[in-house]
Amino acid sequence: MQLIDQNILLGVTGSIAAYKSVELARSLTEEGANVHAVLTESACRFITPYMFETITGNPACSDLFKEPFSHINLPKEARLLIIAPATANTLNKLACGIADNLLSSIWLAYEGPVIMAPAMNFRMYRHPIVQKQIKALRKLGVQFAGPVTGVLACGEEGKGRMADVSVIHEAAVRSLSVQDLKGQHILVTAGPTREPIDPVRFISNRSSGKMGYAIAAAALRRGADVTLISGPSALRPPDGADFIKVESASAMERAVFDNLRKATAVIMTAAVSDYSSRKIAKVKLKKKDSLSLNLKINTDILKKLGQKKGKRLLVGFAAESGKNIEHAKEKMKKKNLDLIVFNDISQKGAGFDIDTNVITLIGAKGGMKEYPVMSKMDAAGVILDRTGELLKDRK
Protein backbone atom coordinates (compact mmCIF):
# COMPACT_ATOMS: atom_id res chain seq x y z
CA MET A 1 0.00 0.00 0.00
CA GLN A 2 2.85 2.36 0.90
CA LEU A 3 4.40 2.02 -2.57
CA ILE A 4 1.36 2.72 -4.71
CA ASP A 5 2.06 5.57 -7.17
CA GLN A 6 5.26 6.54 -5.37
CA ASN A 7 8.06 7.79 -7.63
CA ILE A 8 11.26 5.94 -6.83
CA LEU A 9 14.64 6.60 -8.42
CA LEU A 10 16.74 3.46 -8.54
CA GLY A 11 20.44 4.17 -9.02
CA VAL A 12 22.44 1.20 -10.29
CA THR A 13 26.25 1.18 -10.29
CA GLY A 14 28.88 -1.15 -11.72
CA SER A 15 28.90 -4.32 -9.67
CA ILE A 16 27.97 -7.89 -10.50
CA ALA A 17 25.14 -7.43 -7.94
CA ALA A 18 23.51 -5.11 -10.54
CA TYR A 19 21.54 -8.11 -11.82
CA LYS A 20 19.75 -8.23 -8.46
CA SER A 21 18.57 -4.65 -8.83
CA VAL A 22 16.50 -5.80 -11.83
CA GLU A 23 14.66 -8.01 -9.34
CA LEU A 24 14.37 -5.06 -6.95
CA ALA A 25 12.88 -2.92 -9.74
CA ARG A 26 10.39 -5.71 -10.40
CA SER A 27 9.28 -6.13 -6.78
CA LEU A 28 8.88 -2.35 -6.27
CA THR A 29 6.94 -2.03 -9.53
CA GLU A 30 4.72 -5.00 -8.64
CA GLU A 31 3.68 -3.21 -5.44
CA GLY A 32 2.62 -0.17 -7.43
CA ALA A 33 5.73 2.04 -7.37
CA ASN A 34 6.70 4.12 -10.36
CA VAL A 35 10.38 3.21 -10.73
CA HIS A 36 12.89 5.13 -12.84
CA ALA A 37 16.27 3.42 -13.12
CA VAL A 38 19.45 5.47 -13.50
CA LEU A 39 22.50 3.46 -14.49
CA THR A 40 26.14 4.50 -14.39
CA GLU A 41 28.34 3.74 -17.36
CA SER A 42 29.93 0.82 -15.47
CA ALA A 43 26.50 -0.58 -14.57
CA CYS A 44 25.75 -0.75 -18.31
CA ARG A 45 28.73 -3.13 -18.68
CA PHE A 46 26.86 -5.63 -16.46
CA ILE A 47 23.20 -5.05 -17.43
CA THR A 48 21.28 -2.91 -19.88
CA PRO A 49 18.87 0.01 -19.37
CA TYR A 50 16.45 -1.88 -21.61
CA MET A 51 16.02 -4.57 -18.92
CA PHE A 52 14.80 -1.93 -16.48
CA GLU A 53 12.62 -0.25 -19.10
CA THR A 54 10.90 -3.57 -19.83
CA ILE A 55 10.23 -4.23 -16.16
CA THR A 56 9.31 -0.74 -14.94
CA GLY A 57 7.61 0.59 -18.06
CA ASN A 58 9.63 3.80 -17.66
CA PRO A 59 12.67 5.03 -19.55
CA ALA A 60 15.94 4.06 -17.85
CA CYS A 61 18.62 6.73 -18.11
CA SER A 62 22.36 6.62 -18.05
CA ASP A 63 23.57 9.59 -20.07
CA LEU A 64 23.85 12.98 -18.35
CA PHE A 65 23.85 14.75 -21.70
CA LYS A 66 21.00 12.95 -23.46
CA GLU A 67 18.18 15.07 -22.10
CA PRO A 68 18.79 18.57 -20.80
CA PHE A 69 18.06 18.95 -17.07
CA SER A 70 17.26 15.27 -16.47
CA HIS A 71 19.54 15.50 -13.38
CA ILE A 72 17.24 18.24 -12.02
CA ASN A 73 13.83 17.02 -13.20
CA LEU A 74 14.11 13.37 -12.19
CA PRO A 75 14.91 14.11 -8.50
CA LYS A 76 12.19 16.80 -8.33
CA GLU A 77 9.51 14.13 -8.87
CA ALA A 78 11.07 11.42 -6.67
CA ARG A 79 9.95 10.47 -3.16
CA LEU A 80 12.83 8.05 -2.60
CA LEU A 81 16.30 7.44 -4.02
CA ILE A 82 17.71 3.92 -3.74
CA ILE A 83 21.26 3.16 -4.87
CA ALA A 84 21.63 -0.60 -5.20
CA PRO A 85 24.25 -1.81 -5.72
CA ALA A 86 26.41 1.07 -4.49
CA THR A 87 30.07 0.49 -5.36
CA ALA A 88 33.03 1.85 -3.39
CA ASN A 89 33.72 4.29 -6.22
CA THR A 90 30.18 5.72 -6.15
CA LEU A 91 30.00 5.87 -2.34
CA ASN A 92 33.28 7.79 -2.17
CA LYS A 93 32.25 10.11 -4.96
CA LEU A 94 28.83 10.86 -3.46
CA ALA A 95 30.31 11.58 -0.04
CA CYS A 96 32.64 14.14 -1.65
CA GLY A 97 29.95 15.69 -3.85
CA ILE A 98 31.65 14.83 -7.14
CA ALA A 99 28.96 15.13 -9.82
CA ASP A 100 30.54 13.56 -12.91
CA ASN A 101 27.65 11.42 -14.19
CA LEU A 102 23.84 11.42 -14.18
CA LEU A 103 23.47 9.50 -10.89
CA SER A 104 25.98 11.56 -8.91
CA SER A 105 24.45 14.78 -10.28
CA ILE A 106 20.97 13.59 -9.29
CA TRP A 107 22.29 12.88 -5.78
CA LEU A 108 23.29 16.53 -5.38
CA ALA A 109 19.99 17.84 -6.73
CA TYR A 110 17.81 15.48 -4.67
CA GLU A 111 16.52 16.37 -1.19
CA GLY A 112 14.48 13.36 0.00
CA PRO A 113 15.26 10.07 1.78
CA VAL A 114 18.07 7.88 0.42
CA ILE A 115 18.80 4.18 0.85
CA MET A 116 22.15 2.75 -0.23
CA ALA A 117 22.99 -0.94 -0.56
CA PRO A 118 26.78 -1.29 -0.84
CA ALA A 119 28.33 -4.19 -2.76
CA MET A 120 32.08 -4.74 -3.03
CA ASN A 121 34.96 -6.99 -2.00
CA PHE A 122 35.31 -7.18 1.80
CA ARG A 123 38.78 -5.61 1.77
CA MET A 124 37.44 -2.66 -0.19
CA TYR A 125 34.52 -2.36 2.22
CA ARG A 126 36.69 -2.30 5.32
CA HIS A 127 39.16 0.19 3.81
CA PRO A 128 39.35 3.23 6.14
CA ILE A 129 38.47 5.62 3.32
CA VAL A 130 35.29 3.71 2.43
CA GLN A 131 34.36 3.44 6.12
CA LYS A 132 34.98 7.17 6.60
CA GLN A 133 32.72 8.07 3.65
CA ILE A 134 29.96 5.71 4.79
CA LYS A 135 30.06 7.45 8.17
CA ALA A 136 29.84 10.81 6.42
CA LEU A 137 26.89 9.65 4.31
CA ARG A 138 25.11 8.29 7.40
CA LYS A 139 25.58 11.68 9.03
CA LEU A 140 23.82 13.21 6.03
CA GLY A 141 20.85 10.95 6.76
CA VAL A 142 21.54 8.16 4.26
CA GLN A 143 20.16 4.84 5.39
CA PHE A 144 22.26 1.76 4.65
CA ALA A 145 20.87 -1.67 3.84
CA GLY A 146 23.71 -4.19 4.26
CA PRO A 147 26.21 -5.19 3.12
CA VAL A 148 26.09 -8.70 4.51
CA THR A 149 28.71 -11.38 5.10
CA GLY A 150 28.88 -14.24 2.62
CA VAL A 151 30.61 -15.62 -0.44
CA LEU A 152 31.52 -12.76 -2.79
CA ALA A 153 31.57 -12.80 -6.58
CA CYS A 154 35.38 -13.10 -6.52
CA GLY A 155 35.06 -16.37 -4.56
CA GLU A 156 36.31 -14.92 -1.27
CA GLU A 157 34.15 -14.77 1.83
CA GLY A 158 33.54 -11.65 3.90
CA LYS A 159 31.35 -8.62 4.50
CA GLY A 160 30.57 -6.99 1.17
CA ARG A 161 27.63 -8.83 -0.40
CA MET A 162 24.67 -6.69 -1.32
CA ALA A 163 21.73 -7.09 1.08
CA ASP A 164 18.88 -9.33 -0.10
CA VAL A 165 16.41 -7.70 -2.45
CA SER A 166 13.64 -8.31 0.13
CA VAL A 167 15.63 -6.38 2.76
CA ILE A 168 16.13 -3.38 0.44
CA HIS A 169 12.47 -3.57 -0.59
CA GLU A 170 11.39 -3.53 3.08
CA ALA A 171 13.68 -0.56 3.80
CA ALA A 172 11.96 1.28 0.92
CA VAL A 173 8.50 0.51 2.30
CA ARG A 174 9.55 1.69 5.77
CA SER A 175 10.99 4.88 4.45
CA LEU A 176 7.72 5.69 2.67
CA SER A 177 5.47 4.77 5.62
CA VAL A 178 3.93 7.22 8.06
CA GLN A 179 6.11 7.10 11.19
CA ASP A 180 3.20 7.36 13.64
CA LEU A 181 4.68 4.81 16.07
CA LYS A 182 8.09 6.48 16.36
CA GLY A 183 9.17 6.60 19.99
CA GLN A 184 7.07 3.55 20.91
CA HIS A 185 8.57 0.20 21.83
CA ILE A 186 6.25 -2.65 21.04
CA LEU A 187 6.80 -6.11 22.46
CA VAL A 188 5.08 -8.76 20.35
CA THR A 189 4.78 -12.47 21.11
CA ALA A 190 4.08 -14.91 18.30
CA GLY A 191 3.80 -18.55 17.34
CA PRO A 192 3.09 -21.58 19.50
CA THR A 193 5.01 -22.87 22.50
CA ARG A 194 6.22 -26.44 22.89
CA GLU A 195 5.96 -28.32 26.17
CA PRO A 196 8.25 -31.37 26.16
CA ILE A 197 7.07 -34.84 27.16
CA ASP A 198 10.33 -36.61 26.34
CA PRO A 199 13.32 -35.70 24.09
CA VAL A 200 11.18 -36.36 20.98
CA ARG A 201 7.56 -35.53 21.82
CA PHE A 202 5.87 -32.34 22.88
CA ILE A 203 2.45 -30.73 23.41
CA SER A 204 1.79 -27.67 21.31
CA ASN A 205 -0.87 -25.42 19.80
CA ARG A 206 -1.64 -24.82 16.16
CA SER A 207 -0.06 -21.53 15.16
CA SER A 208 2.22 -20.49 12.30
CA GLY A 209 3.21 -17.16 13.87
CA LYS A 210 1.97 -15.27 10.78
CA MET A 211 -0.24 -12.80 12.70
CA GLY A 212 2.45 -11.85 15.24
CA TYR A 213 5.22 -11.57 12.63
CA ALA A 214 2.92 -9.34 10.53
CA ILE A 215 2.31 -7.06 13.55
CA ALA A 216 6.07 -6.88 14.23
CA ALA A 217 6.83 -6.03 10.57
CA ALA A 218 4.04 -3.43 10.37
CA ALA A 219 5.13 -1.77 13.65
CA LEU A 220 8.72 -1.52 12.36
CA ARG A 221 7.44 0.07 9.15
CA ARG A 222 5.65 2.68 11.22
CA GLY A 223 8.79 3.62 13.12
CA ALA A 224 8.39 1.63 16.37
CA ASP A 225 11.19 -0.29 18.04
CA VAL A 226 10.10 -3.90 18.20
CA THR A 227 10.97 -6.88 20.36
CA LEU A 228 9.59 -10.07 18.85
CA ILE A 229 9.46 -13.09 21.17
CA SER A 230 8.55 -16.14 19.18
CA GLY A 231 7.91 -19.79 19.76
CA PRO A 232 8.95 -22.26 17.01
CA SER A 233 8.00 -20.85 13.60
CA ALA A 234 9.25 -21.33 10.05
CA LEU A 235 8.96 -17.59 9.37
CA ARG A 236 11.89 -15.22 8.96
CA PRO A 237 11.82 -12.50 11.62
CA PRO A 238 11.49 -9.00 10.17
CA ASP A 239 14.75 -7.15 9.73
CA GLY A 240 15.38 -4.67 12.54
CA ALA A 241 13.36 -6.46 15.24
CA ASP A 242 15.06 -7.50 18.45
CA PHE A 243 14.30 -11.19 17.99
CA ILE A 244 14.15 -13.71 20.84
CA LYS A 245 13.43 -17.33 20.07
CA VAL A 246 11.87 -19.51 22.77
CA GLU A 247 10.42 -23.02 23.03
CA SER A 248 8.27 -23.45 26.11
CA ALA A 249 5.63 -21.30 27.81
CA SER A 250 7.91 -20.82 30.81
CA ALA A 251 10.75 -19.63 28.52
CA MET A 252 8.30 -17.23 26.84
CA GLU A 253 7.18 -15.95 30.23
CA ARG A 254 10.81 -15.30 31.25
CA ALA A 255 11.63 -13.57 27.97
CA VAL A 256 8.52 -11.35 28.21
CA PHE A 257 9.27 -10.17 31.75
CA ASP A 258 13.02 -9.79 31.04
CA ASN A 259 12.17 -7.44 28.15
CA LEU A 260 9.18 -5.65 29.59
CA ARG A 261 10.94 -2.57 31.01
CA LYS A 262 11.39 -0.67 27.75
CA ALA A 263 8.03 -1.68 26.21
CA THR A 264 5.28 0.94 25.88
CA ALA A 265 2.85 -1.67 24.53
CA VAL A 266 2.65 -5.46 24.61
CA ILE A 267 0.73 -7.39 21.97
CA MET A 268 0.30 -11.06 22.90
CA THR A 269 -0.54 -12.99 19.73
CA ALA A 270 1.26 -16.15 20.86
CA ALA A 271 -0.74 -19.34 21.15
CA VAL A 272 0.72 -20.20 24.54
CA SER A 273 0.23 -23.78 25.59
CA ASP A 274 -2.12 -23.83 28.58
CA TYR A 275 -0.63 -27.03 30.02
CA SER A 276 2.76 -28.70 30.38
CA SER A 277 3.80 -32.14 31.52
CA ARG A 278 4.70 -32.41 35.21
CA LYS A 279 7.33 -34.99 34.37
CA ILE A 280 9.68 -34.74 31.38
CA ALA A 281 11.29 -38.08 30.54
CA LYS A 282 15.05 -37.88 29.96
CA VAL A 283 14.95 -40.67 27.38
CA LYS A 284 12.42 -41.39 24.66
CA LEU A 285 9.37 -43.15 26.11
CA LYS A 286 8.60 -46.59 24.70
CA LYS A 287 5.30 -46.96 22.87
CA LYS A 288 2.52 -48.57 24.96
CA ASP A 289 -1.17 -49.28 24.36
CA SER A 290 -2.10 -46.15 26.24
CA LEU A 291 -0.41 -43.24 27.89
CA SER A 292 -1.64 -40.90 30.58
CA LEU A 293 0.02 -37.56 31.00
CA ASN A 294 -0.03 -35.68 34.23
CA LEU A 295 -0.37 -32.05 33.13
CA LYS A 296 -0.09 -28.87 35.12
CA ILE A 297 -1.48 -25.51 34.10
CA ASN A 298 1.02 -22.95 32.82
CA THR A 299 1.19 -19.36 33.95
CA ASP A 300 -1.22 -17.16 32.01
CA ILE A 301 1.43 -14.68 30.80
CA LEU A 302 -1.14 -12.12 29.68
CA LYS A 303 -2.98 -12.22 33.00
CA LYS A 304 0.28 -11.78 34.89
CA LEU A 305 1.16 -8.88 32.57
CA GLY A 306 -2.24 -7.34 33.36
CA GLN A 307 -1.30 -7.25 37.04
CA LYS A 308 2.09 -5.65 36.38
CA LYS A 309 1.50 -3.56 33.29
CA GLY A 310 1.96 -0.12 34.87
CA LYS A 311 1.43 2.51 32.17
CA ARG A 312 1.90 0.01 29.36
CA LEU A 313 -0.82 -0.70 26.85
CA LEU A 314 -1.85 -4.35 26.83
CA VAL A 315 -3.38 -6.07 23.80
CA GLY A 316 -4.55 -9.68 23.90
CA PHE A 317 -6.06 -12.11 21.44
CA ALA A 318 -9.11 -14.27 21.89
CA ALA A 319 -9.29 -17.15 19.46
CA GLU A 320 -12.69 -18.74 19.87
CA SER A 321 -14.71 -21.42 18.08
CA GLY A 322 -17.91 -19.50 17.42
CA LYS A 323 -19.04 -15.94 17.91
CA ASN A 324 -18.24 -15.75 21.62
CA ILE A 325 -17.89 -11.98 21.85
CA GLU A 326 -19.05 -12.01 25.49
CA HIS A 327 -16.36 -14.52 26.41
CA ALA A 328 -13.74 -12.31 24.76
CA LYS A 329 -15.00 -9.30 26.74
CA GLU A 330 -14.76 -11.32 29.97
CA LYS A 331 -11.21 -12.31 29.05
CA MET A 332 -10.31 -8.66 28.53
CA LYS A 333 -11.65 -7.74 31.96
CA LYS A 334 -10.12 -10.72 33.74
CA LYS A 335 -6.69 -10.05 32.23
CA ASN A 336 -6.88 -6.23 32.62
CA LEU A 337 -6.39 -5.54 28.90
CA ASP A 338 -6.83 -2.29 27.00
CA LEU A 339 -7.79 -3.98 23.77
CA ILE A 340 -8.70 -7.50 22.70
CA VAL A 341 -8.60 -8.91 19.19
CA PHE A 342 -11.38 -11.42 18.82
CA ASN A 343 -11.31 -13.97 16.05
CA ASP A 344 -13.71 -16.77 15.37
CA ILE A 345 -11.43 -19.54 14.10
CA SER A 346 -14.39 -21.48 12.66
CA GLN A 347 -15.09 -18.68 10.17
CA LYS A 348 -13.94 -18.89 6.53
CA GLY A 349 -10.77 -16.84 6.03
CA ALA A 350 -9.74 -17.03 9.71
CA GLY A 351 -7.53 -19.57 11.42
CA PHE A 352 -4.14 -21.18 11.28
CA ASP A 353 -1.41 -21.22 8.67
CA ILE A 354 -3.32 -19.02 6.25
CA ASP A 355 -2.56 -15.49 5.11
CA THR A 356 -5.93 -13.98 6.04
CA ASN A 357 -7.85 -13.30 9.23
CA VAL A 358 -11.29 -12.09 10.30
CA ILE A 359 -11.05 -9.92 13.40
CA THR A 360 -13.18 -7.82 15.72
CA LEU A 361 -11.49 -5.22 17.91
CA ILE A 362 -12.98 -4.63 21.33
CA GLY A 363 -11.68 -1.78 23.48
CA ALA A 364 -11.79 -1.83 27.29
CA LYS A 365 -13.42 1.60 27.22
CA GLY A 366 -15.91 0.58 24.53
CA GLY A 367 -15.68 0.80 20.78
CA MET A 368 -16.21 -2.53 19.09
CA LYS A 369 -15.45 -2.86 15.40
CA GLU A 370 -15.90 -5.88 13.17
CA TYR A 371 -13.69 -6.14 10.08
CA PRO A 372 -14.21 -8.20 6.91
CA VAL A 373 -11.78 -10.94 5.89
CA MET A 374 -8.42 -9.30 5.20
CA SER A 375 -4.75 -10.20 4.83
CA LYS A 376 -2.86 -10.65 8.10
CA MET A 377 -0.70 -7.67 7.10
CA ASP A 378 -3.84 -5.49 6.76
CA ALA A 379 -5.21 -6.90 10.02
CA ALA A 380 -1.88 -5.94 11.65
CA GLY A 381 -2.44 -2.45 10.23
CA VAL A 382 -5.85 -1.99 11.85
CA ILE A 383 -4.65 -3.44 15.18
CA LEU A 384 -1.74 -0.97 15.16
CA ASP A 385 -4.04 1.93 14.14
CA ARG A 386 -6.11 1.29 17.27
CA THR A 387 -3.02 0.64 19.43
CA GLY A 388 -1.53 3.93 18.19
CA GLU A 389 -4.73 5.85 19.02
CA LEU A 390 -4.83 4.38 22.52
CA LEU A 391 -1.14 5.20 23.06
CA LYS A 392 -1.79 8.77 21.95
CA ASP A 393 -4.72 9.08 24.39
CA ARG A 394 -2.34 8.14 27.21
CA LYS A 395 -0.05 11.12 26.65
Nearer to ligand CTP, 290 or 307 (CB): 307
The site that binds ligand CTP (CB under 6 A) totals a number of residues, namely 14
List, as one string, the DSSP characters of 294-345.
Answer: -EEEPP-HHHHHHHH-TT-EEEEEEEESS--HHHHHHHHHHTT-SEEEEEET
CB closer to ligand CTP, 278 vs 395: 278
User: C-beta of 235: minimal distance to ligand CTP in Å?
Assistant: 17
Q: Does 331 bind ligand CTP (CB under 6 A)?
A: yes
Least spacing, CB of residue 246 vs ligand CTP, in Å: 13
Instruction: Give the relative orientation of helices 49-56 and 18-30 as an angle to the nearest 10 degrees.
Output: 10
- The residues in 235-294 that bind ligand CTP, with binding defined as CB under 6 A, are 249, 268, 270, 272, 274
Does position 213 bind ligand CTP by CB under 6 A?
no
The sign of the torsion formed by the CA atoms of 284, 286, 287, 290 equals: negative
Nearer to ligand CTP (CB atom), residue 60 or residue 319: 319
As measured in angstroms, the least distance from the Cβ of 302 to ligand CTP is 3
Q: Which stretch binds ligand CTP (CB under 6 A): 93-101, 130-138, 316-324, 386-394?
A: 316-324
Question: Which of 49, 209, 316, 388 is close enough to bind ligand CTP by CB under 6 A?
Answer: 316
According to CB under 6 A, which one of 302, 313, 390, 391 is a site residue for ligand CTP? Answer: 302
What is the residue type of 157? E
Which amino acid type is present at position 195? Answer: E
Distance separating alpha carbons of residues 269 and 147, to the nearest angstrom: 32
Q: What size, in residues, is the chain?
A: 395
Is residue 359 a contact point for ligand CTP (CB under 6 A)? no
175 lines the binding site for ligand CTP (CB under 6 A): no
To the query of whether residue 44 is one of the catalytic residues in this protein, the response is no
Q: Are 28 and 58 in contact (CB under 8 A)?
A: no
Whole-angstrom Cα distance, residue 378 to residue 373? 10
If the CB atoms of residues 216 and 270 are measured against ligand CTP, the closer one turns out to be 270
In this structure, are residues 287 and 253 in contact, taking their beta carbons and an 8 Å threshold? no
Q: How is the beta sheet containing 34-39 ordered, strand by strand?
A: 34-39, 7-12, 80-86, 114-118, 143-144
Nearer to ligand CTP, 202 or 317 (CB): 317
Residues designated catalytic: 154
**Binding-site ranges for ligand CTP (CB under 6 A):** 249, 268, 270, 272, 274, 298, 300-302, 316-319, 331
